[in-house]
Amino acid sequence: GDSVTQMEGPVTLSEEAFLTINCTYTATGYPSLFWYVQYPGEGLQLLLKATKADDKGSNKGFEATYRKETTSFHLEKGSVQVSDSAVYFCALSDFSGTSGTYKYIFGTGTRLKVLA
Amino acid sequence: EAQVTQNPRYLITVTGKKLTVTCSQNMNHEYMSWYRQDPGLGLRQIYYSMNVEVTDKGDVPEGYKVSRKEKRNFPLILESPSPNQTSLYFCASSLRGGVFFEQFFGPGTRLTVL
C-alpha cells in the first residue's frame, strides 16, 4: 500500500541555517505530494504541494521538488527563522483503483526547533 | 473567514459515556474527513465523506461513527469511548475528494478518556 516516510526529529538549527527535511514515498498510482506545517496548538495548514513529477512547490521560502525517480519530496529552506519552529508533515494523495477511493497518507511529522 | 471549526476543543470524559465532536466548514467543500494524531504515528484517517450522505471508513474506524446529513457538518461520534481513544482529533475538508486538492484543517479536539 501507499506510505510516506520522513526523517525523525527533532531537528534543531540556528537561525539562518539551511534546512532539509527528507521525505520519501511509495505509491501505486500517480500521487500528489504535500507539505503541511503545524504550529503549536493549531491544526495543520498547507505549506506547499506538487501534483506531478518534476514539479517544484514553493511558499514562504520553502521549496520541495517532486522526484519520481527517487520517490522523494524533500523540504528545503535556505535560511530558517525562529518563527519556522513547528512540526512539518509530508503527505500524499493517491487514487486506489482497487477500492475506487482517494487516500490521504501522512508521515509521522518532523519537529523543527530554530534557536536565535 | 473561510474556516473549519470543531467543538469542543478539549474534552475529558469517562469510559463508556457517549460523546460527539462537531465539525463544520463554511467553504462549501464536498469532501470532509476525520483524523487522529498520536505521537510517533502521525495522522491516521478515521472516516471520510465524499459528499452528503456518502461516508466511508478510513484506516482506523473501529469505535467511531460519522454522519453527513448536511454539506457543512460532519460530526464524529464515539458511542462507548475507551482509554485507547485518548488522542488529538482533527477534522479536515477539501473542495473535492481528489488527488489534487489540499485539505483545510480545524484547530483540533484533545480528548482524554479516563
* pLDDT single digits (tens) B9-34: 999 999 999 999 999 999 999 999 99
Nearest to B102 among A34, A103, A107 (CB): A34
What are the Cα distances from residue B31, in Å, to A64, A70, A72, B61? 26, 31, 27, 17
| A57 vs B: CB within 8 A | no
CB B71 within 8 A of CB B54: no
CA distance B94 to chain A (A): 11
Question: Given pLDDT bands bounded at 50, 70 and 90, which one contains residue A108?
Answer: very high
| B41 vs A: CB within 8 A | yes
| B contact residues 77-106, partner A, Cβ 8 Å cutoff | 90, 92, 97-106
Convert the pLDDT of each residue in A13-53 to its tens digit.
999 999 999 999 999 888 999 999 999 888 999 999 999 99
Contact across the interface for A43 and B107, Cβ inside 8 Å: yes
Taking contacts as CB-CB distances below 8 angstroms, the residues of chain A near B43 are 44, 89, 106
Rounded to whole angstroms, the Cα distance separating A31 from A93 reads 5
